[in-house]
Amino acid sequence: MHGVGAPHLRGQFRVQSLNVIIRRLGTADAVALAQLRSASIEAEPLAFGASPSDDVHGTVDALRTSLADRDELAVYGAFDEAGSLVGMVGLGRSPQAKRRHKAILWGMYVAPQSRRRGTARKLLEHAISQAAQWPGVRQVSLSVTTAAPGALRLYESAGFRQWGREPRGLQWEGRFEDEAHLVLDLPQEAARQYGADADKTRPG
- Window from 76-90, 159-173, 176-190 with minimum mean pLDDT: 176-190
Say how far apart CA 85 and CA 33 lie, in whole Å.
7
The mean pLDDT value for 93-99 works out to 88
CA angle 36, 42, 48 (to 5 degrees): 85
DSSP character at residue 82: T
The mean pLDDT value for 185-195 works out to 62
Of 185 and 171, which is predicted with more confidence? 185
Question: What's the pLDDT score for residue 10?
Answer: 36
Based on its alpha-carbon atoms, the radius of gyration of the chain, rounded to whole angstroms, reads 16
Of 139 and 187, which is predicted with more confidence? 139
Of 102 and 1, which is predicted with more confidence? 102
pLDDT tens by residue, 146-182: 888 999 999 999 999 999 999 998 888 888 999 999 9
Of 52 and 122, which is predicted with more confidence? 122
Question: What's the pLDDT score for residue 55?
Answer: 66
Alpha-helical segments (H) within 44-148 = 60-68, 119-131
Beta strand segments in the chain, E: 15-16, 21-24, 74-79, 85-93, 102-110, 139-145, 161-172, 175-185
Say how far apart CA 197 and CA 75 lie, in whole Å.
20
Q: Which domains does the chain have, with CATH numbers?
A: 15-200 (3.40.630.30)
Candidates 169, 195, 190, 192; CA nearest to 181 is 169
Cα dihedral across residues 167, 121, 14, 110: positive or negative: negative
Q: Under a CB-based contact definition with an 8 Å cutoff, are residues 128 and 184 in contact? A: yes
Share of the chain above pLDDT 90, in %: 52
Question: What's the pLDDT score for residue 66?
Answer: 84
Say how far apart CA 135 and CA 171 lie, in whole Å.
37
Beta bridge partners of 110: 87
- Mean pLDDT estimate for the chain: 82
pLDDT tens by residue, 5-49: 333 333 344 444 458 999 999 999 999 999 999 988 888 877 787
pLDDT at 200 over 70: no
pLDDT at 204 over 50: no
